[in-house]
Amino acid sequence: MVKSNSFLSFLILFLSTISASNLANAQSLEHYKLGADDVISVSVFDEPDLSLKEARVSSTGTIAMPLIGQVDVKGLSVSEAEQLIRELYLGDYLKKPDINITIVEYRQFYVNGEVNKPGGYSFRDGMTIQRAITLAGGFTERAARKNIKLLRENGNGVPVEADISTQVRPGDVITVEESFF
């Protein structure tokens, strides 16, 4: 009986740790701001001709919407972009526009330095630096595995120290430094 209680306690602790990790990542994406190279779907309820199945946010931060033209969505959350498009369609074009935006594909994050395949990679929910380095072919022989820098896209432009468990966000740049030994 004691073994089953300790196993149950371990299982509860393990599951709560996973839930907390997923919740923290979900909260960081909840406030996600749209940017260049994000691919979004814009659905205008009961108006298939006005909807977009996939629209890539341009380098200037805009998408082209039927009737209303270029809409600047860069730096807006999904709900803010929905509200903006709703307001642009309201009145002249639609009486009660119901707009729904979903992110089809997040912009890439980048891994460079001492990895086997440096480059840009598609972001996936729950991405950590360890997973990102694995996607980039793993560490090279000369990699300083504990000297990893992270440059956040919306940060102050100064790389910060990070470890392999740090959560990655779309647009991040991960640099694995070279070891001196």
Say how far apart CA 141 and CA 145 lie, in whole Å: 10
Could you tell me which CATH number the domain at 39-105 has? 3.30.1950.10
Angle at 69 between CA 95 and CA 84, to 5 degrees: 55
Reported as a pLDDT band with limits 50, 70 and 90, residue 158 is confident
- For residue 160, the model assigns a pLDDT of 84
Of 151, 167, 121, nearest in space to 27 by CA: 167
- The answer on pLDDT for 2 being more than 50 is no
pLDDT above 90: percentage of residues in the chain:
70
Domain 109-178: CATH architecture, name and number where available: Roll (3.10)
Report d(CA 127, CA 170) in Å as an integer.
9
Overall pTM > 0.85 = no
Average pLDDT, the chain: 86
Structural domain spans, the chain: 1-30, 39-105, 109-178
- The answer to whether 85 and 71 are in contact (CB under 8 A) is yes
pLDDT tens, 4-60?
555 555 445 444 444 444 433 443 567 799 999 999 999 999 999 999 999 999 999
Tell me the chain's radius of gyration from C-alpha atoms: 21
Q: In sequence order, which residues have a C-beta less than 8 Å from that of residue 111 and are 6 or more positions away?
A: 118, 119, 121, 132, 133, 135, 136, 174, 175, 176
41 neighbors 53 (Cβ within 8 angstroms): yes
Q: What is the pLDDT of residues 66-76, one digit of tens each?
A: 999 999 999 99
Task: Examine the pLDDT at 1 and tell me if it is beyond 80.
Answer: no
